Every structure is written in C-alpha cells, then in structure tokens.
Structure 1
Amino acid sequence: MTHINDSILETLAYFDVFNYPLTKGEIFLFLHKKYDHFTLESGLQNLVLNKKIYRFNNFYTLINDPTLIKRREKGNDKAAHMLKIAKKISHILIKFPYVRGIAVSGSLSKNFADEKSDIDLFIITATDRLWIARTIMHLFKKLTFLVNKQHFFCMNYYIDEQQLEIVEKNIYTATEVVTLIPMEGDTVFENFFAANNWTRNYLPNNILRLSSARQVKNSWFKMGIEFIFNNKIGNAIDNKLKEITQKRWQKKTQQEKQNMHGVIMSMEANKHFSKPDPSKYQNKLLTRYEDKVFRLLHEYETSSAV
C-alpha cells in the first residue's frame, strides 16, 4: 500500500503547486508509476481515511480547503470559453507561411483559466523556416496590441519539423507534452507525439493520443509565399532573423525585463526551436515540487511509523 500512497501524494503534490485539485481519473493519468484502478482506489481510500489527503465530491487535494474546488470549477468554466477563442485564433494563425501545427499549452491545456490567463500556443513550423514564420507571426501580434487582444496570442514556444522531440525530459515537460491540445495540423502532431513517447517513463498511464487537430489546408497565398523563400535566400533570411531575435532577447534578459506575470524575459533558441529559458521558470517550479514531495513523504513516513 505504501508505494501507491507515495505515488498518489507525489501526483497531488505536483498539481498542488498550481492549487489544482484532481479527480480520481486525473490522478490515474498522472501517476508517476503504473498502477491499476483497483490499487489506486484502495490507496485513495486509505489516504482519505488517515486524513493525509481530502476529498470534496469528485476532487482530491492535499489541503482541507473546499474553496480550491470552487476555484477549479470556476476556472474550468472560464477555460471552456477561452478554448473556443483559441480554436478561432489557431485557425487564423495556421494560414501563416511555414506554420504546420498549432496547439494550446499552459494552464489552458489543463482546462483551467482565470481573469489573468493568456492563451499560450505551441507552434510547429516547417524545417529550417522557424524564424521566418515566427517573425511574421510576431509582427502580426503587434497589431493585436492596438485592440488589447495580445494576451490571446502568446506564441512563446516554437519547434520545427526537424526537431520534434523535446530535449528537456522531466515531470514538468512530460506533463506539458501530454496535456497539449492540438488545434491545427493533424499529421504533424501525430508525428510529434510519436517522437515524444519518452513521456511514458514519467507518466506511464497517460498514453499519448492521436492528434485531434484539424487537417491543414494550405491556401494559394501561403504556398506562394513559401515558394518565394524556398531557396538559399530564404535560408539566409531565416538565419539572419534568428540572429536578430536572439540579440534582442539577450538584451531584454540582461536588463532583467519582466513579462506580465513578473518573470524575467529570457529565451533559449537555436535553428530549430525557440522557447522560454528553462532556468527562469521550469527549473524553479521543479525545485518547488521536489521540496514539497520531500517534506510530504517525510511527514507521511514519520506518521505511519508511529
């Protein structure tokens, strides 16, 4: 019983970092080790009975606070509305040159949003044309500031078709990968999920699904623009845009500029990806999670030994 209890506590601890209670089905999907439903049910009953976790209706949490459930339910309702907007936005952005796939990421992909939430987008581009695609899309984003809709276009993670596998492999990146909600680009996301089946090492019950995204239908305009840049000149432009963007972001980081959420703006990039610097958020979150798990399991083992 101890092993399943530890796994349940570890899973709840991860989402507790975000103040997000889980259902039994969600706990099963995000267990870090493979267990069946019967074993999970036994573990949950034992932990609730011993007041190591708390149950409110269909939700489980580490904290005896029913307001967390109300917060989640309100956030789920808000997310349902924002996902409809995200679908429309994705349908617009997929029309841009060299864009091959778009998915919703971040808290919205976990079916949660509040008044401060953005629509975070994970974007896959054609090989060796990431920086042309990214630049055009971000020029478009500047127009959204005029109508105060910039928070609907948070295009902060790009990869291209040559490097579909996520380099960092940990519980955070595994969770982010399996919770992506593909909106556009069915084939490219099927390839993406196949390239990232390493997530099963962290979330063995969460088998990556086939993409639910819509099939991409390229317009004559999109194909025409790509035809113009599918040559050595296009290669040179893409490389130059990468160089310019990296220098701009290095300057932002050196000046310690912060985004709307108070996080220092920093980017990690090369020819085939552009993403937030893991050391600025991801690593800090993992440290918080690991500290929480250590304290939680220590308290549990100590109380069980009494």
Structure 2
Amino acid sequence: MIEIKDDILSTLAYFDIFNYPLTSGEINLFLKNKYHQNEFDLAIKYLVGNHHIFQFGGFYTLKNDYAVIERRIKGNAKAAELIKIAERISTLLIKFPYVRGIAISGSLSKNFADEKSDIDLFIITAKNRLWIARTLMHAFKKLTYLVNKQDYFCMNYYIDEEQLEIVEKTLYTAIEIVTLIPLQGDAVIEHFYTANTWTRNYLPNKIMRLSSAKPLKPSLIKRAFETMLNNRAGNYIDNVLLKITTNRWLKKARLKKLNAHGGVMAMATAKHYAKPDPKVFQTNLLRQYENKIAHILHQVPSSLAQ
C-alpha cells in the first residue's frame, strides 16, 4: 500500500500549494496511478487515522485547519457566479474572426474564485491567424476598461489549429488541460484533447470533459472578414502583428513591469501560440511542489512502509 499512500499525499500536496482541500473523488481523479476503490479507501482511512492528512466532512487536506474548508466552500460559490458570466462572455468572443474554440482556464476552471479573481480564458484560433484574432480581441478588451470589466476578459493563452499539442509536458500543464471548462467550439476542443492524450501519463483517472462546449456557428460578418484576409495579405498582417506584440512584451520583461497581481509581466510568443512564459510561474510552482513532497515524505517515512 506504500505507493498509493505516496500518491495521495502527493496529490494533496499539489493542491495544498493553492490552499485547496479535495474530496475523496477529486483525490482519486488526480492520482498519478490507477487503484482499486477498496485499496484507495483503506489508504485514505489509514492516512487520516495516523494524522498524516485531516478530514473535515467530505474534504481532505494536509492542514489541520477548518479555515481552508470554509475558504473552498466560499470559493466554489463565487466560482459558480463567474462561470455563468464566462458562458455569456464566450458567446460574444466566439464571434470574433478566426476564433474557433474557447474554454475557461486558471483557478476558475478548478471551481474556485474570490473577490479578486479574473475570468481566465483559453482560446483556439484558425491556423496561421492567431495574431489577427488576438489583436482584435485585445483591442476590444481595451474598451472593457472603460466600464471596469477587464477582469472578465483575461484572454491569456492562445494556440492555433496548426499546433494543438501543448509542448510543455508537466504535471502542471496536464492538470491545466484536463480541468479546462470548454464553452465554445466542440469540434476543435475535441481535436485539442486528442492532440494532448499524453496527459494520461500524469493523470490516468481524469477524463477530459467536452459536453459543455457549444458547436461553432460562424456569423455572416465573421465569414466575410475571414474571406477578405484568407490570402497573402492576411499572412503578412498576421506575421507583422506577431513581431510587434513580441517586441512589446520583450520590452515589458526587460523593464520587469508588474501585472495587477504583482507578478512580472512575461509572455512566450511564436507563430502558433501566445501564452504566459512557463519560466516565470510554472517552473517555480513545480519546484515548490517537489520540495513540499520531499518534506512530507521525509516526515512520515516509517508509517508509509507499513
């Protein structure tokens, strides 16, 4: 039973970084291996009985502190409100030229939000038109500042249909992928999931969900705009916008400009993607996770050997 106990502790350790307790069903979904339900139930009972993890009602956590449970319950309620707003927003954003798919990402996709939370959106665009789509969408976002609704339009991760596979294959990216909440573009989201079945190497129990995505229904105006730029001129414009945006973000990184949350602004860009630079956040998070696991397993080595 040693391996399953390690897996349970490791799973709780990852979400503990975000002060997010899990239900037993959620723990099972995010384990890195498959186990029989009876084996899982015995391991959970053992860990709780020996005070390696703590149970409050239906939640499990590494912290003996009910405050994290209250935080989650409150965060789940707030998330439900924001998800409804995100659904309405997606019906607008899917009308933009070359946008093929939209999903909720970030903490909101984990069913958590607080008063400072944004609505983070994952966008899939048509092949070789990511930068036209992104520029139009972010020009629109500028207008949302006038009504103080910019936090509802955090379109911070873009890929296009040419490169649906996520290059960084880590536990972090696997969790981010499988917890996406698809809103628009059921066909392209399905292709995206097919291109990223490698996530099963990290999360064999978590099935990626598609049922919430609506089918793509391009409008007449959207079709006309795309037809106008489905040529060499469109290729040129897309490449120019990529260059301009890349240079602007490189300058922000050099100057160490901070975003609204106090983090250094940095973005990784290429022809087929625009995303938060993984070196800025992802690397630090995974290092923190590895250190936490090492500490936990060092604290309870003898019991895990039973």
Mapped pair 1:292 → 2:292: yes
1:10-29 alignment to 2 at 5 Å? 10-29=10-29
1:239 Cα deviation after fit: 0.1
The SS at the match of 2:122 is: strand
1:163-182 alignment to 2 at 5 Å? 163-182=163-182
Q: Distance in 1 between matches of 2:302 and 2:118?
A: 41
1:207 Cα deviation after fit: 2.3
**Does structure 1 retain, via aligned residues, the 8 Å contact 2:5–2:304?**
no
1:39 Cα deviation after fit: 1.3
Mapped pair 1:254 → 2:251: no
Q: Distance in 2 between matches of 1:132 and 1:46?
A: 55
Gaps of 5+ in 1: none
The residue that corresponds to 1:245 in the other structure is: 245
CA RMSD of aligned residues (A): 1.1
Question: Number of paired residues?
Answer: 306
Deviates more, 1:90-99 or 1:293-302: 293-302
User: Structure 1 length normalisation: TM-score?
Assistant: 0.98
1:211 Cα deviation after fit: 4.5
1:303 Cα deviation after fit: 5.4
1:37 Cα deviation after fit: 1.7
User: Structure 2 length normalisation: TM-score?
Assistant: 0.98
The residue that corresponds to 1:154 in the other structure is: 154
AA of the residue aligned to 2:119: I
The residue that corresponds to 1:101 in the other structure is: 101
1:58 Cα deviation after fit: 0.2
1:86-123 C-alpha deviation (Å, 9 max, x unpaired): 00011100000000000000000000000110000000
**Does structure 2 retain, via aligned residues, the 8 Å contact 1:193–1:209?**
no
**Does structure 2 retain, via aligned residues, the 8 Å contact 1:189–1:211?**
no
The structure 1 segments of at least 4 consecutive aligned residues displaced by more than 3 Å after TM superposition are 302-306
Q: Distance in 2 between matches of 1:36 and 1:18?
A: 28
The residue that corresponds to 1:112 in the other structure is: 112
**Does structure 2 retain, via aligned residues, the 8 Å contact 1:157–1:276?**
yes
AA of the residue aligned to 1:276: P
1:35 Cα deviation after fit: 1.3
The SS at the match of 1:278 is: coil
1:2-81 alignment to 2 at 5 Å? 2-81=2-81
**Does structure 2 retain, via aligned residues, the 8 Å contact 1:190–1:211?**
no
1:123-134 alignment to 2 at 5 Å? 123-134=123-134
AA of the residue aligned to 1:140: F
Gaps of 5+ in 2: none
The residue that corresponds to 1:195 in the other structure is: 195
Q: Distance in 2 between matches of 1:34 and 1:50?
A: 23
1:62-86 C-alpha deviation (Å, 9 max, x unpaired): 0100011100000000000000000
**Does structure 1 retain, via aligned residues, the 8 Å contact 2:13–2:62?**
yes
AA of the residue aligned to 1:77: A
**Does structure 2 retain, via aligned residues, the 8 Å contact 1:197–1:208?**
no
AA of the residue aligned to 1:274: A
1:178 Cα deviation after fit: 0.2
